[in-house]
Structure 1
Amino acid sequence: MPRNEEQNQELRDARKEQILQAALLVFARRGMVAAKISDIAKEAGLSHGLVYHYFTSKEEIFSTLVRTAANNSVGVIQQASEQIGTPLEKLHWMSEQILNGLSDERNTLLFLIMIQASTSDAIPDEVKEILTGVEAVSPVTCILPLIIEGQEFGEIISADPVSLAIAYYAFIQGLAVNKIQWPECPIPNAKLIMKIFEKDN
């Protein structure tokens, strides 16, 4: 029985996800510059030509992963902002979501992709646009309103909010990299990371 259009789309989506997951592993091991489409195809268990059917280049695959990682980071901040509670409680909720997510290899590898994208001189122009273009939205910028609100509320320390946001994400990225290097490592409780922000009563 022939597949209908909805089934065909589901198959296309599944194939793309299969390729992206394989690419995550390849980019993590080899970096974007050294990675080849043939490496990604082999990791995915697909033919070289089939990968090209879905993506025009490894640069397009890398850009797609960076966009996914950026959207995920901003998305969890937006969800946190919509939670009921004080600014610190919202930050605690967000930290729990992020730290729980580190048990998923895909999430930790997406952090690594973002680090590569932010530190490599050889990233595609599309990635530069995602990170620094007119419409770019960084997690540091997104979290600032919550930090400032928490300072005004009297529950977050009176330090430079940008520095606090940077310290927060350095902590998270460090945990993600550590999880990749040592998969069995314990992930700290969200209360620990809240010590960055919490004002002594």
Structure 2
Amino acid sequence: MPRDENKNLEIRDARKEQILSAAAKVFARRGMVAAKISDIAKEAQLSHGLVYHYFESKEQIFVTLVKKASDKSIEVVNEANQYNGTPIQKLTWMTETILRSIATGEGIYLYLIMIQASTSDAVPAEVRDVLMGDNANSPVFATIPIIIEGQNEGEIVKEDPVKLAVTYYAFIQGLAINKIQWKECPLPEAKLIMNVFQTKQEVTK
């Protein structure tokens, strides 16, 4: 591929990321319904027309962000599965990674986008397809095998694995909401969250 074409692709990708990053902040503050392309353009410090050059509509931007958020969540779970440790150590590593992304602001807006996508009736149908489609693409369902493995090894409490996974992500989403509303909000250590899921025997070790 010619160098100029490579450079053009780099610029194109960087510009799209700039728009997506700005849009995540706008959607988090205003919601998908109230947000406008002009708001996103202003946040990205780009012209209204340039945003439309890369995306057809705010709905397309929102769908792209939901897919990105889902992919990043699954990526963290997959990395946790590859982590060399016991199930509870895998969950602890995953929790530390997620809390770090919330603390630095890197992942906070994507978590809020996922909450909006899950709770708003106004989201595009394509978003619901992403969230309700293949369970393999759901962070909740991707985490369940780690939980079951931990239960089999006596590390994690014997409760419904689905309910435990849902509870886990409720903690994460709640912390993301608190952090964006209150920037100085102190985040708990991963161990504090793990105490909810560990057996008494593991907690007292």
> RMSD of aligned C-alpha atoms?
1.2
Structure 1 length as normaliser, TM-score?
0.95
Write the deviation string for residues 17-64 of structure 1: whole angstroms up to 9, x where unpaired. Answer: 111111111111211011111111111111111111100110000001
Partner of 2:170: 170
Amino acid at match of 1:53: H
Amino acid at match of 2:176: A
- Asked whether the 8 Å contact 1:24–1:106 carries over to 2, the reply is no
Partner of 1:41: 41
- Distance in 2 of aligned mates of 1:149 and 1:134: 22
Secondary structure of 2:197's counterpart equals: coil
Structure 2 length as normaliser, TM-score?
0.93
- Asked whether the 8 Å contact 1:77–1:143 carries over to 2, the reply is yes
Partner of 1:74: 74
Gaps of at least 5 residues in structure 2 are none
Q: Does 1:184 align with 2:195?
A: no
- Distance in 1 of aligned mates of 2:163 and 2:140: 9
Cα–Cα, structure 1 residues 83 and 136, in superposed 2: closer, same or farther, change >3 Å? closer
- Asked whether the 8 Å contact 2:81–2:146 carries over to 1, the reply is yes
Gaps of at least 5 residues in structure 1 are none
For residues 1-201 of structure 1, the aligned pairs below 5 Å read 4-134=4-134, 137-201=137-201
Amino acid at match of 1:186: P
1:160 shift after superposition: 1.2
Cα–Cα, structure 1 residues 134 and 97, in superposed 2: closer, same or farther, change >3 Å? closer
- Asked whether the 8 Å contact 2:36–2:58 carries over to 1, the reply is yes
Amino acid at match of 1:146: I
Secondary structure of 2:110's counterpart equals: helix
- Asked whether the 8 Å contact 1:129–1:136 carries over to 2, the reply is no
Write the deviation string for residues 109-155 of structure 1: whole angstroms up to 9, x where unpaired. Answer: 11111111001111012111111124762111111100011010011
- Asked whether the 8 Å contact 1:27–1:35 carries over to 2, the reply is yes
Secondary structure of 1:102's counterpart equals: helix
Amino acid at match of 1:80: A
- Distance in 2 of aligned mates of 1:97 and 1:25: 21
- Asked whether the 8 Å contact 2:84–2:90 carries over to 1, the reply is yes
Cα–Cα, structure 1 residues 129 and 96, in superposed 2: closer, same or farther, change >3 Å? same
- Distance in 2 of aligned mates of 1:108 and 1:58: 20
Amino acid at match of 1:143: T
Secondary structure of 1:196's counterpart equals: helix
Amino acid at match of 1:37: I
Alignment identity in percent? 63
- Distance in 2 of aligned mates of 1:21 and 1:78: 24
- Asked whether the 8 Å contact 2:135–2:142 carries over to 1, the reply is no
In terms of fraction of residues, the more helix-rich structure is 2
